[in-house]
């Protein structure tokens, strides 16, 4: 479902005329804000399979080298990190662990079993460092849930389940103007919550024995 389609779905439920673009009127812009608010709440409610991404980081050789994970932003959630060179999971470490291993203990080079995050680079990509120092070049995969940026264009796609997004935005809009067509805003929120719970159950049951990592 596109951003414009979602806006028009909410407008129809409010018995308002449909629009041809999100910024057609002040009210369509307001509904667009509700869609974005609802979309963020739905995205944050579950680690949706349709939002998951796997990004490789190659050429890991030294803990002093700061690497950027392309596409991974501060709004995203890292689920797991896997070293495909040695077929082992890489654990989230700490700044203290990094400094102790590399600079204080000066641990011998080996397999980098830990990583730390160090903010973002100039492009907004998350920066990481690995330790202990690697004794050879390695490739690591980052498996994460990528949050979508704010919807602005009518053709932007709502990637999270659209039904609870629309229902939640409808409840927000109905509450805002204090008129619900015979249904209280509380009931509309309850319908949205039920729809969200159903969507989570469906997504969770889609891959009951989920395999996060696979050969590439």
Give me the pLDDT at residue 212, please.
46
Give me the pLDDT at residue 213, please.
45
Fill in the DSSP letter of residue 110: B
Q: Model confidence over 64-98: pLDDT tens digits?
A: 678 999 999 999 999 999 999 999 999 999 989 88
Closest of 41, 122, 140 to residue 86, by C-alpha? 140
Instruction: Quote the tokens at residue 216.
Output: 């590439």
Q: Model confidence over 173-184: pLDDT tens digits?
A: 999 988 655 678
185/199 Cα distance (integer angstroms) = 21
164 CB-near residues (< 8 Å, 6+ apart):
38, 42, 192, 193, 195, 196, 199
Q: Domain boundaries in the chain?
A: 3-47+160-206, 51-145
Q: Model confidence over 103-115: pLDDT tens digits?
A: 788 777 889 999 9
Segments in the chain below pLDDT 70: 63-64, 179-182, 207-216
Give me the pLDDT at residue 101, please.
81
Instruction: Quote the tokens at residue 4.
Output: 């414009």
Full DSSP string of 163-182: HHHHHHHHHHHHHHHT--TT
Give me the pLDDT at residue 182, please.
63
150/12 Cα distance (integer angstroms) = 23
Give me the pLDDT at residue 60, please.
84
Give me the pLDDT at residue 132, please.
86
Closest of 211, 48, 63 to residue 145, by C-alpha? 48
């Amino acid at each position: 479902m596109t951003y414009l389609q979602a806006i028009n779905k909410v407008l129809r439920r409010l018995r308002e005329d449909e629009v041809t673009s999100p910024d057609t009127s002040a009210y369509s812009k307001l509904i667009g804000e509700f869609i974005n608010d609802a979309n963020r709440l739905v995205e944050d409610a579950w680690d949706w399979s349709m939002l998951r991404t796997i990004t490789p980081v190659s050429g890991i050789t030294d803990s002093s080298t700061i690497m950027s994970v392309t596409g991974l932003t501060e709004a995203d959630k890292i689920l797991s990190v896997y070293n495909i060179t040695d077929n082992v999971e890489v654990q989230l470490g700490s700044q203290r662990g990094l400094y102790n291993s590399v600079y204080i203990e000066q641990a011998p080079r080996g397999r980098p079993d830990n990583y730390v995050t160090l903010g973002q680079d100039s492009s907004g990509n998350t920066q990481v460092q690995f330790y202990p120092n690697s004794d050879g070049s390695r490739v690591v995969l980052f498996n994460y849930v990528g949050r979508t940026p704010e919807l602005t264009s009518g053709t932007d796609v709502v990637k999270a389940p659209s039904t609870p997004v629309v229902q939640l935005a409808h409840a927000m809009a109905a509450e805002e103007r204090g008129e619900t067509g015979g249904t209280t805003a509380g009931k509309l929120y309850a319908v949205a919550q039920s729809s969200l719970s159903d969507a989570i159950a469906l997504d969770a049951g889609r891959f009951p024995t989920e395999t996060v990592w696979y050969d590439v």
